[in-house]
Amino acid sequence: MIRLLAFAGSARAASVNKKLVLLAASDARAAGADVTLFDPAERPLPLYDGDLEERSGLPPAVLAWKQLMQAHDGFLIACPEYNGSITPLLKNLIDWASRAAPGEAPLACFKGRTAGLLAASPGGFGGMRGLVHVRAILGGIGVHVVPGQFALAAAHEAFAADGSLVDARQAKRLREVVVECVETTRKLRG
């Protein structure tokens, strides 16, 4: 069974991207994946600082984050959009994970893994502009980002009280992207 790590690039408790990644995790489990949910707010990392790394090595929270990533075959990432790009929190998670621990191969957390990208935003583009940047970053460090992606516009109105998506077509599209990630990960890991 493939293992996927699912997380949102947001620390906000009421984040629509956290809601979205919960739905994606459920869809991935239904497609046969073992899914671990990670909330960056529960285990915050310091802001990446090369001097800190040189002085003290990788902080314990970073080592734990890297171990969690390496224990999974791929990622489902809900990517909030800040000013048309990636959030500082998501960029920080990627930047710390890209730093090699002693004796570790470069980019060990990323190379050979897959990612399915999702976004939710109250705006009309649904976070699509930020997904372009996340795709470029992950692709540049060895992640196979599946071609399909999901962007949920008007996200502040898109969720029912039970956390599901109000629009059945949107729910179907999300499921398609998640299944694409699960199946691609299975094929690449098989």
Helices (H), 14-59: 16-30, 50-56
Two structure tokens written together for 61: 């929270």
Q: What contacts 24, CB < 8 A, 6 or more positions away?
A: 6, 76, 78, 116, 118, 150, 174, 177, 178
Model confidence, pTM: 0.97
**What is the topology classification, in CATH, of domain 3-189?**
Rossmann fold (3.40.50)
**pLDDT per residue rounded down to tens, the chain (190 residues):** 999 999 999 999 999 999 999 999 999 999 999 999 999 999 999 999 999 999 999 999 999 999 999 999 999 999 999 999 999 999 999 999 999 999 999 999 999 999 999 999 999 999 999 999 999 999 999 999 999 999 999 999 999 999 999 999 999 999 999 999 999 999 999 7
- DSSP-derived letter for residue 43 is S
What's residue 5's pLDDT? 98
What's residue 190's pLDDT? 78
What are the structural domain ranges in the chain?
A: 3-189
